[in-house]
Amino acid sequence: MEFDPGVLLIVGAGFSKTAGLPLATDFTEHLLDTASLKTDGPSVKQVEFLRKFVDDTFNGGETNPSKLWPELEDIFTLVDLSANTGHHLGTSYSAAKLRLVRRAMIVRIVRMLQQDYNRYLRSRSAESKLLNTLFDELNVDNTAVLSMNWDMVIERGVALRQKIDRIDYGCNASDAGFSKGEVSLRPAAPPEAKTLRLLKPHGSINWLYCDACRELFWVKPDQTEGVARTLFQARDWKAMPNLDPAMEIPKSYEPHCPHCRAQALGTRIATFSFRKALDFPMHAATWRTAESHLKDAPRWIFFGYSMPAADFEFKHLLKRIQLTERIKPKITVITGGATRAAEDTLARYRKFFGNDAIERTFTGGLNQEVIDYFRKIGALKRPSKKKPSKVLSSGA
């Protein structure tokens, strides 16, 4: 059934920050933060490995504090440019070792995002109540979401608050699940089931992609640890230099693809890189669906998205559609943070789209004024009197 959204909500890292996740500028600090982790756990060992790579590559082998680390875009771009062409980076890091670095970084980010969000779910702040209201009332019959993030803030919130278990990622991804280390398809939801339409042009931490048959599968938010265990396997742990021989290798999975039965499941995430890998089937399908929604939606709402230079493909898509559609979209920008940063973000939007194209702006992040505006334009609808009273939990 074709879906024409009345509102397209485009969210970036600033939206996820509302749910306790770090901005891109803070990712390195959070990625390296192991204070709350088991000292002999897998995340700590991966952080030690990543620290050594960055020290060797950027600081002459000397230990560098996290605040002096290069931007993640620089790290991923250098790794990708070498690894994807089969070349060394320097004398010590071969293409194979660089691919190991990349997998370790992705898996550490997957776990870090989940750990940070789980901590947030235990909080009871005014902002968390507003976020719960947004998830309670999100009008999935009228509103689609386009997320530039990998995290699952949207899925977890809406799934629990509205009990929606059906997600259309716009790329023909199949609903699957882990059981005893294997992946199998879940029964199809009935046609009348409510559906969350959520596009993720850069991929998602709950996706598995088969390198053999090129099918894509998504798992429920509480099963992303299975994805992490699939992406970093026993052979990867054994390939890490200076690994303590006495260390017990963390449990990993080598599941069969539910479609072709090959043991070829991995992921294809567009990393923090100026050379994003967007030429895989699911990315292409997502971009086609995104273009369709952008053309159909009379309102574009940007929430916590700063339009970074690295997203030039997406910015080109936005500008192309704005220039060619006879009915121009009404654009709303919601941003937060320090006054100067918010003003800079709004200025960037006005310069890119044109001052007259921006209908509304909000600079206070998620607040009651934003909730009221969403209700006014139909992006939110008031729930029934029997709305669930339970709060978000980490097992959404």
Q: Is the pLDDT of residue 283 over 80?
A: no
Q: Is the pLDDT of residue 393 over 60?
A: no
Pick from 194-198, 239-243, 252-256, 317-321: least confident: 239-243
Q: What is the pLDDT of residue 103?
A: 92
Bridge partner list, 208:
217
Reply yes or no on whether the pLDDT at 395 is more than 60: no
HSE at residue 236, side-chain half, CA atoms within 13 A, is 24
Distance CA 96, CA 99 (A): 5
| pLDDT at residue 369 is higher than 80 | yes
The residues with which 253 forms a beta bridge, in sequence order, are none
Residue linked to tokens 């043991």: 263
pLDDT greater than 60 at residue 392: no
Q: What is the pLDDT of residue 394?
A: 35
pLDDT computed for residue 189 by the predictor? 82
Question: Higher model confidence: residue 174 or residue 396?
Answer: 174
- Each residue's pLDDT tens digit, 152-177: 999 989 988 898 889 999 999 999 99
> Between residues 281 and 124, which one has the greater pLDDT?
124
What stretches of the chain show up as alpha helix (H) in DSSP? 13-18, 27-32, 42-58, 72-83, 95-121, 126-137, 153-161, 224-231, 234-239, 281-296, 312-324, 339-353, 368-377
Q: How confident is the model at residue 295 (pLDDT cuts 50, 70, 90)?
A: very high
Confidence band for 383, pLDDT divided at 50, 70 and 90: low
> What is the chain's mean pLDDT, rounded?
87
Structure token digits, residue 251: 């449990």
Q: What is the pLDDT of residue 281?
A: 64
Give the dihedral sign, CA 55/61/65/68. Answer: negative
**Alpha carbon distance 353, 14 (integer Å):** 20
Question: pLDDT-derived band of residue 250, with 50, 70 and 90 as boundaries?
Answer: confident
The mean pLDDT value for 326-352 works out to: 94
More confident residue, 303 or 188: 303
Distance of CA 150 to the CA centre of its chain: 1
Q: Tens digit of pLDDT for each residue in 193-241?
A: 899 999 999 899 999 999 999 999 999 988 999 999 999 998 999 888 8
Q: Is 118 helix (H, G, I), strand (E, B) or coil?
A: helix
Q: Residue 9: which pLDDT band, with cuts at 50, 70 and 90?
A: very high
The region of weakest confidence among 47-51, 356-360, 376-380 is: 47-51
Q: What percent of the chain has pLDDT over 70?
A: 93
Secondary structure class of 18 (helix, strand, coil):
helix
pTM: 0.88
Q: What is the pLDDT of residue 309?
A: 80
Rounded CA-CA distance 121/134 in Å is 15
Mean pLDDT of 7-20: 93
- Give the pLDDT confidence of 109-161 residue by residue, as tens digits: 888 888 888 887 777 777 889 999 999 999 999 999 999 998 999 998 998 88
**pLDDT classification of 280: cutoffs 50, 70, 90:** low
Q: Choose among 147, 150, 153: nearest CA to 118.
A: 153
pLDDT, residue 390, reads 47
- Model confidence at 391: pLDDT above 50: no
DSSP secondary-structure letter at 311?
G
Q: Which pLDDT score, from 0 to 100, does residue 7 have?
A: 97
- pLDDT for the residue numbered 277: 55
Helix (H, G, I), strand (E, B) or coil at 359: strand
| Closest-CA residue to 85 (of 241, 239, 275, 313) | 275
CB of 150 closer than 8 Å to CB of 268 = no
Q: What are the residue boundaries of the structural domains of the chain, listed by start?
A: 7-377
